[in-house]
Structure 1
Amino acid sequence: METRKVVIVGSGPAGYTAALYASRANLNPLVIEGHEPGGQLTTTTDVDNFPGFPEGIMGPELMANMKKQTQRFGTEYLQTHVTAVDLSKRPFKLTCENGTELMAESLIISTGASAKYLGLPNEKELIGKGVSACATCDGFFYRDQIVHIVGGGDTAMEEATFLTKFAKKVYVVHRRDSLRASKPMQERAFNNEKIEFVWDSAVTEIIADQTGVTSIKVENLKTGEVTERPTNGLFMGIGHSPNTGFLNGQIDLDDHGFIITKGAHPDTNVEGVFACGDVQDSYYRQAISAAGSGCQAAIRAERFLEEN
């Protein structure tokens, strides 16, 4: 069975940046890309907040560029998905969906977090065309427009408040008649005159034309009444699920399933295992912060291998 110095599980800005640093340090990293090579950014159209691109860049192009840059320094890629790991001893053992088994002297986890969606029929095709799960990424495109956001927790209130910087009106659609969000978050939303609440309601249909989303159908869960509401954008504020199932409880996670790292470092509770990007960051969740943490993970892996 092949043993690698560094295996990076997951891609995206964190995994690709970790690969760039590890390959330049002559660690010959292997990246196991997962089901969504390039991560969440491959579903984003315009990226205007990644430094160095004054005209902006398309998400898929940015990811393709990052990958190409790592390959220049010898990073290798496996197009498969890790199904199980054994972290009880070093080198660590990884089992992949395609049957490949590998050993790794150090492991960098950058499997990201997947935004939760409603599961409506045309929802996924409309991502980037009026449907979004990231207000900080896409809010700018809704200047002086009407948007709706689904959710009732801190994520939804934070995103709704952020959207008021651009949109002329933000409607929050929530299944109940009270919020789960923390008191300060609730107060901030209630005191914002641009935010209005649509209580006891669920989005049942997204209506779009060739330009993107035009309206949504909303059902009142108490009366059963369905109304069509014009909107330019529909945001998901129902949280993210970190992709940590394959770890099978061998690494410490927080209450929401994100990997716990040590203070300012990417170290996990297992020596030689590092985590970067959204899988350990429920707060910032930006391409640039993910890339920064990928750099840190690679540097820590390099130092760890030197010491051991």
Structure 2
Amino acid sequence: MMTAPVDILVVGAGPAGLTAAMYLARFRRGVCVVHDGRSRALWVPRTLNVPGFPEGITGPRLIERMADHATRYGAAIREGRVTAIARAGALFRATLDDGDGIEARGVILATGVETRLAVLDKGDHDQAVRIGVLRYCPICDGYEHSGERIAILGSDIHGAAEAMFLRQFSRHITLIPKWDVALSEAQRSELAASDVAIVEGRVERLAADAEGIAVQIAGEAAPRAFDILYPALGSVPRSELALTLGAAGDDDDCLPFTAFSDGLLPGLYAAGDVVAGLDQISVAGGQGAMAATRLHNWLREIEGHKMADQN
């Protein structure tokens, strides 16, 4: 079943997609947001670095407010998974997992990333995140763990870089490999100079409770106790829709940083975590606003509603 064409299809209802939808609705564009309910913002227990919320706000509440903001101006939001997008003449044609189709003159992809999660041998993962003993974003919440015993689970330069970043908040930083420590002697020296401890043994067991994280290292008699664990295992961008349309990604399939400003292809933009750069709620919102405005102006040019010499 194909619905009547809309001006813009936004794929994803996280901070980037919902900001884009709000802007487009206020530009008097017909905008439809399709999302699969998997925005990473939904499992943020409480964020304290979103401007305007000094007391903090939970991820679900933030998304609820942003969705309400967009729909108040006329954006339509529906849950579903976009399985494919193809060009159909001057339109984009999206296929949904329930068999429906949506045609749109332009598309903004705000599909985010899949975080590689730590696997707990004991304790509930989501509960550990909610109570703050398991974290995934040191930029978001490193400040809240100042002075605590912090472990970073990561074997290579990514884990080392995260350990060095967190060193600014605490003197008690330990880098723990998932398997082997894949660091050069120079990198080890940098960590040592900053008093970052490196554990050489392999992790055998991770356990979480209300008191913190216990990490059992192979060959050690007792588990090591930490207040918090940051897995530095990376993420996988959800960029497959853009790539199948012919857009280019980097070596990790992240979309280029200019995807929200210059676009990927005529009529196709992207914003948020799927774009290479800093994965932050405020950044995603700014990129969503930029993508919406650029796409709106692109349509204005086609419609003859833009000054010919306007940049």
Secondary structure of the 1:280 match is: coil
The corresponding residue for 2:7 is 5
Distance 1:185 1:240, change over 3 A: farther
Distance between the aligned counterparts of 1:150 and 1:163, measured in 2? 13
TM-score, length-scaled by structure 1: 0.88
- The residue aligned with 1:71 is 71
Q: Give 2:163's aligned amino acid.
A: A
Quote the sequence identity (%). 24
Q: Which residue, 25, 28, 40 being the options, matches 2:27? A: 25
Tell me the amino acid that sits aligned with residue 305 of structure 1: L
1:293 to 284, 287, 297: 287
Which amino acid is the alignment partner of residue 201 of structure 1? R
From 210, 213, 216, the equivalent of 2:214 is 216
Q: Which residue of 1 aligns with 2:270?
A: 275
Task: Report the residue type matching 2:75 in the other structure.
Answer: T
**Aligned mate of 2:251, from 250, 255, 275:** 255
Q: Cα offset for 1:206?
A: 1.7
- Gaps in structure 2 of 5+ consecutive residues: 303-311
Q: Provide the TM-score with structure 2 as the length reference.
A: 0.87
Q: Does 1:179 align with 2:179?
A: no
- C-alpha spacing 1:89/1:252, structure 2 compared with 1 (3 Å): farther
Alignment counterpart, residue 242 of structure 1, candidates 209, 227, 237: 237
Matches within 5 A, 1:186-201: 188-193=190-195, 195-201=196-202
User: How does 1:17-166 map onto structure 2 within 5 Å?
Assistant: 17-36=19-38, 39-87=39-87, 89-120=89-120, 122-129=124-131, 130-166=133-169
Return the alpha-carbon distance in structure 1 between the equivalents of residues 186 and 83 of structure 2: 40
Query: Which amino acid in structure 2 is aligned with residue 230 of structure 1?
Result: A
Asked whether the 8 Å contact 1:93–1:104 carries over to 2, the reply is yes
Structure-1 separation of matches of 2:259 and 2:101: 32
Aligned residue for 1:279, secondary structure, equals coil
State the number of aligned residues.
296
- Bigger Cα Rg: 2
Aligned residue identity for 1:61: R
Secondary structure of the residue that 1:107 maps to in structure 2?
strand
Aligned to 1:307: 301
Give, as a single letter, the amino acid of the residue that structure 2 aligns with 1:239.
Answer: G
- What CA deviation, in whole Å up to 9, does each residue of 1:67-91 have, x standing for no partner? 1111110110111111111147431
Cα shift readout 1:130-159 (whole Å, capped 9, x = no counterpart): 111111112122121101111133432232
| Kept in 1: contact 2:155–2:180 (CA 8 A) | no
TM superposition shift of 1:205: 2.2
Distance 2:194 2:93 in 1: 52
Q: Deviations over 1:186-206 (max 9, x none)?
A: 65433211x111124225222
Give the aligned partner of residue 202 of structure 1: 203
Q: Deviations over 1:197-229 (max 9, x none)?
A: 112422522230xxx352323232xx5x56411
